[in-house]
Amino acid sequence: MSLGFIAAHIQKKIIKKLMMIITITKNKIDQIFVKYARTYKKSAKHNLTLNSELEEIIIGLLLGDLFAEKIKPTSNTRLQFKQSNKNKPYIDHLYSLFKEYCNTEPKETTSIEKRPGRSELNISIKFWSASLPCFNKFREMFYDSSGTKFIPLNLEELITARSLAYWIMDDGYKSSNGFYLCTESFTLKENHKLSEILKNKFNLDCGTHKHTNGYRLYIFSTSKDRLLQLIQPYLIEHFYYKFDLK
């Protein structure tokens, strides 16, 4: 065997070994980069704050279907935005407002709602925000230690026309004469308090009606025009039907 052949063979093995080292090193660098990117993204979101408009919107949404959750007592708060899939334009609108605070886009989910004598397939669309410090005050503001939602004592100071508009879009529907808000999750006393707040803050005349699962707030027909005047600047086109708008 010639020295040239041996040298070529050794050179080939060295090159192969070097290529393996380079590949392993590149993979490790890629892993470190991905990990760093995720950490940086998480860290950047951790320092996010909310402007006054988003805070007003959250106040209104928490009076409706918005859910503020702490996965663990020591964790930060995340928000769940959820609607029937027929309200996809509304969810898309909310996502456009809170996209910066989220890690994933809205997704459809299905569930079976069982009722006496029948079951019903529900298709909903929802998205979660990241768990962030900027949402913690809303969890403390609207939930007790057991996770039950309640009306903040200073709601009259907090709620604005923008808040009201998002509450209406989130959880309201028209009746033949007036307008209902689905407030069954609140007690009768809290419903009376909400009625008082809407009168004091917005001059809306309201009552409380008994429903199957509790009580609903009812805005009288005499205040329906006043209600529309307050919320129309914030009402998205998808919900014009609630006020017979075109």
2-6, 50-54, 204-208: the lowest-pLDDT one: 2-6
Q: How confident is the model at residue 173 (pLDDT cuts 50, 70, 90)?
A: very high
54-69 per-position pLDDT tens digit: 999 999 999 999 999 9
197-215 per-position pLDDT tens digit: 999 999 999 999 998 889 9
Are 218 and 178 in contact, with CB atoms under 8 Å apart? yes
The confidence score (pLDDT) of residue 213 equals 85
CA distances from 113 to 67, 86, 116, 117, 123 (A): 19, 17, 10, 11, 10
Q: What is the mean pLDDT of the chain?
A: 88
Percentage of the chain exceeding pLDDT 70: 85
* CATH number of the domain located at residue range(s) 52-243 in this protein: 3.10.28.10
